[in-house]
Homo-oligomer: A and B are copies of this chain.
Amino acid sequence: MLQALLFDVFGTVVDWRTSLVRRFERYASENSLKADWATMADDWRSEYEPAMKAVRDGQRPWTGLEELHRESLDRLLPRHGLSSLGEAQRQQLVLGWHFLDPWPDTLAGLTRVKKKYIIGTLSNGGVRLLTDMARFAGLPWDVIFSSDNFRHYKPAPEVYLGAAELLDTAPENIMLVAAHNYDLAAARRHGYKTAFVARPTEYGPRQSRDFKAEGEWEFVAKDFEELAGKLGA
């Protein structure tokens, strides 16, 4: 019997791209910085997979997303004419990933499903990032599960199985909600139920995948409100 819904966060729950660009532009205007912030956000996100890959493949020991974000930023700044940014400014930009806005349907949908199920994150973000984000955006999580808790990044089995162990239930009593087919495929492989919610503008004009469900997921919904309806919540 379904007991808990766990949610991928970046892209599924929050619109990281629009939020980051807006935040960077505000920060830039307050600090007289000039750059193409949309490209900057896109480039930064492009570093995400390769940065995690080295950890996933065991080429480097466990390293949290906060540190990976900072390393990627340091690599990117010269390409964007921003080499002169100091330590405090770099920290401010990295912190931007903690304060992202939800999609328009997120809060209403989460509030509905929370009445019926435990709701939590299952994210490659860090515990502090996810906690700051929940406070900033008003995300009503019952529990936060982060790559930090398992010292592995999705789609490593340790993340899905670790969350089930902490919830003291079988994986089939948990459903992952995600906008990314690879994540759902891994969750299903480890026994989870699955729900796909398309977020076709997540990556802006660069989006090349995840426009639609690519597996026989238990639920497919256009947003969290529709998902809540399908779950009878």
Contact = CB atoms under 8 A, between A and B. Distances in A.
Interface of A: 66, 118, 120, 126-128, 131-132, 134-135, 142-144, 146, 148-149, 166-169
Can you tell how many copies of this chain the complex includes? 2
Contacts of A169: 128
A169 to B, nearest CB: 7
Contacts of A149: 149, 166
A170 B132 CA distance: 16
A165 to B, nearest CB: 8
19 contacts: A66-B168, A118-B131, A118-B132, A118-B135, A120-B131, A126-B166, A127-B143, A127-B166, A127-B167, A127-B168, A128-B167, A128-B168, A128-B169, A131-B142, A131-B167, A143-B144, A146-B166, A148-B166, A149-B149
A150 to B, nearest CB: 10
Contacts of A146: 166
A152 to B, nearest CB: 14
